[in-house]
Amino acid sequence: MTDVDGRVLPERVSTLELFFDLVFVFTITQLTTVLVGHPNAKGVLQVVLMLGVIWWMYGGYAWLTNAVPPDRASRRLLLLGAMGSYLVLALSVPQAFSGAGLSFGIAYVLVVSVHMLLFSRSTSSTVTQAIAGLAPYNGVSALMVLAGGIAGGTAQYVLWALAGIFEWITPKVNEPSGFEVGPAHFVERHGLVVIIAIGESVVAVGIGAAGLPIDLELVAVALLGLLLTACLWWTYFGGDDSRAEIALSAAPPKPRAIMAVEAFGYGHLPILLGIIGIAATLKRTIGHASDQLALEPALSLACGAALFLLGDVIMRHTLHIGRARWRTLAAAAVLVTIPLGTEVAAVAQLAAVVLLLLGLLAWEGATGLDDPDGLGTRRRWS
């Protein structure tokens, strides 16, 4: 596939990009740690504020390598530098609001700076003009993150919230239509980060089980946790990824770029937040499955599953793939499981969430509610 300047766009993700994603997902692990240590409204707020700015720039790098592939030594070295900045940022996450805000802010400024520098090396005049329009917004947001890290306290919360809001409204005031999207590469890149993040939920089960006796209760909860993550995988990769590629390929260049922002930017933010919430509860539940949950982890599990489903609904709605009604209802239904966790046992809520997701997937499979060949999407643009 080529862009408007005749330049060949990447069709598949490079191993260096996958390496980058592995470093990025470490931030997801660190955010999970924050929620495990502070399973309350303050912890949730901190996670949301950090994920908001972090995911925005991850998306920026996905767009970057879609337009400027790391096929030269200079580009690879710069991308490795960005990975180092992301690693420092991730290391700062657990104490970002209690002393490490400055480290987080400096690392974030470096992430943004390398992003702008690499984008400026594009051979496409259209892309160069597009990044020139976007750079001031990203630069101001990065400085707000740095200022918040320096200030600390309430000012940090306010400045980081403003930075996140400023970033996420940017596509509404500065349309990304100048960026050309290679559908195969773009969809695969976001799918890879989702599968790696889901894998972190499995890791959370393993970390929570460390040092515990391998008895029937532990095995049962571990398998339920694995089954839950398998349901998340099936929900996302049971066809939505291939249909998303068809949808982006069928769309003309300008609406394709806008669809990409909404489906993979806005839509994937709740997906990742949901994974973090689920992983945090799984980590806390292992070894205490027969105990009643406090309200916060019970909320984290149910709301995490609901957010994951709602993010998928946003993606489906934006790309006009499949039908989202049953997934919306399932997102509401999982909230009903909260009393099972708080009044019965953690394993009861976990089992109920798994059964609901299995029921949803079975119902969709049996009734054929989806559009596996993307015919509806093709007709939309024909």
pLDDT of 379 above 60:
no
Judged by average pLDDT, the poorest of 50-54, 255-259, 341-345 is 255-259
pTM (2 decimals)?
0.90
Give pLDDT tens digits for 245-266: 899 988 887 888 889 999 999 9
Radius of gyration of the chain (CA): 21
Contact residues for 166 (Cβ-Cβ < 8 A; gap 6+): 137, 140, 141, 144
pLDDT of 106 above 70:
yes
Among 130, 127, 112, CA closest to 175: 130
Q: How many CA atoms lie within 13 A of 304 on its CB side?
A: 31
Cβ atoms < 10 Å from Cβ of 262: 16
Among 142, 149, 184, CA closest to 167: 142
pLDDT of 179 above 90:
no
Judged by average pLDDT, the poorest of 121-130, 144-153, 223-232, 312-321 is 121-130
Q: Strands, E, within 114-156: which ranges?
A: none
Question: What are φ and ψ of residue 276, in 5° steps?
Answer: -60, -45
Q: Strands, E, within 178-311: which ranges?
A: none
Cα dihedral sign, 152-158-161-163:
negative
Rounded mean pLDDT of 79-100? 95
Q: Write the DSSP assignment of 22-89 as a string of letters.
A: HHHHHHHHHHHHHHHH--SHHHHHHHHHHHHHHHHHHHHHHHHHHHS-S-SHHHHHHHHHHHHHHHHH
Look up residue 9 and give its two tokens.
């766009």
Among 271, 356, 258, CA closest to 310: 271
Q: How far apart are alpha carbons 175 and 358 in whole angstroms?
A: 39
pLDDT of 114 above 80:
yes
The maximal CA–CA distance of the chain, rounded, in angstroms, is 62
**pLDDT band per the 50, 70, 90 thresholds, residue 215:** confident
Averaged confidence pLDDT in the chain:
87
Cβ atoms < 10 Å from Cβ of 71: 11
Q: How far apart are alpha carbons 219 and 347 in whole angstroms?
A: 12
Rounded mean pLDDT of 276-301? 89
Q: How far apart are alpha carbons 39 and 296 in whole angstroms?
A: 6
pLDDT greater at residue 172 or residue 120 = 172
Give me the residue spans of the domains in the chain.
15-178, 183-381
Contact residues for 215 (Cβ-Cβ < 8 A; gap 6+): none
Q: How far apart are alpha carbons 303 and 311 in whole angstroms?
A: 12
Question: What are φ and ψ of residue 57, in 5° steps?
Answer: -75, -30
pLDDT greater at residue 232 or residue 8 = 232
pLDDT of 64 above 80:
yes
pLDDT of residue 377: 53
Q: How far apart are alpha carbons 26 and 87 in whole angstroms?
A: 8
Query: Exposed, middle or buried, 73 (CB in 10 Å: 0-12/13-18/19+)?
Result: exposed
